[in-house]
Chain A
Amino acid sequence: GDSVTQMEGPVTLSEEAFLTINCTYTATGYPSLFWYVQYPGEGLQLLLKATKADDKGSNKGFEATYRKETTSFHLEKGSVQVSDSAVYFCALRRASGGSYIPTFGRGTSLIVHP
């Protein structure tokens, strides 16, 4: 079945450091890929998405490129802020038997220190 694998956290960085959170997926066909962010005590919010190979999703300084050849969708940001501290989830969605159930990775916690 479909699956999403993320790097384990927590990822601890100093403010203004470069961020990479790795995400790889297993799925047949051509899924759409998403990054969600969850702040403490809250639900998940969409951060960015890409719907086909080589697409780049971007939002709030975060970027991720859909790499079909490596089945990856790594999240990057050039300069993190304390306010970016949260849990980040990589997800995919594709047609399967008529349903499009989103599949999530385990989440990666990011802690940014001043």
Chain B
Amino acid sequence: NAGVMQNPRHLVRRRGQEARLRCSPMKGHSHVYWYRQLPEEGLKFMVYLQKENIIDESGMPKERFSAEFPKEGPSILRIQQVVRGDSAAYFCASSPVVAENTEAFFGQGTRLTVV
């Protein structure tokens, strides 16, 4: 059973380009969470999705950022017109059920560098 798969591991974009980050949850997991990690700031929640639904996007910037989790295929975090401040590590986590006593399983992250 493969773990949470994120790709690419490293992504370089020029200012103004679009960044697409992909996350395939563990098999049987239908709950996906995206986090952003900045140096010295820890993990910041961005968005929580279930298949075809955004459940909570309270941590995601209102402009330029969007996320989806289609019926088929991976979850996508899209950042349009990237700026230097978007440079960070983006992590995806998945859970099999909605329960407080279950852990979230993390991918290895995508490290975005905006030049």
The residues of A with any CB-CB pair to B shorter than 8 Å are: 31-32, 34, 36, 41-46, 49, 51, 89, 93-95, 98-107
Contact = CB atoms under 8 A, between A and B. Distances in A.
Given A43-B109, A99-B56, A101-B56, A34 B43 contact: no
Interface in B62-115: 91, 93, 95, 98-109
A62 to B, nearest CB: 15
Given A43-B106, A93-B101, A101-B33, 14 more contacts: A31-B100, A41-B108, A43-B109, A44-B43, A49-B101, A51-B101, A89-B43, A99-B55, A99-B56, A101-B56, A102-B45, A102-B93, A105-B42, A106-B40
B48 A101 contact: yes
A45 B99 CA distance: 18
B26 interface: no
Given A49-B103, A101-B56, A106 B4 contact: no
B95 to A, nearest CB: 8
Contact of A100 (B35, B98, B107): B98
A9 to B, nearest CB: 10
Interface string B30-50: 000101000011110100100
Contacts of A103: 45
B2 to A, nearest CB: 13
Contacts of A32: 100-101
Nearest to A31: B100
26 contacts: A34-B103, A43-B4, A43-B91, A44-B91, A44-B93, A44-B106, A45-B106, A51-B100, A51-B101, A89-B42, A89-B43, A93-B102, A93-B104, A94-B100, A98-B55, A99-B55, A99-B56, A100-B98, A101-B33, A101-B48, A102-B33, A102-B93, A102-B104, A103-B45, A104-B43, A106-B42
B104 A42 contact: no
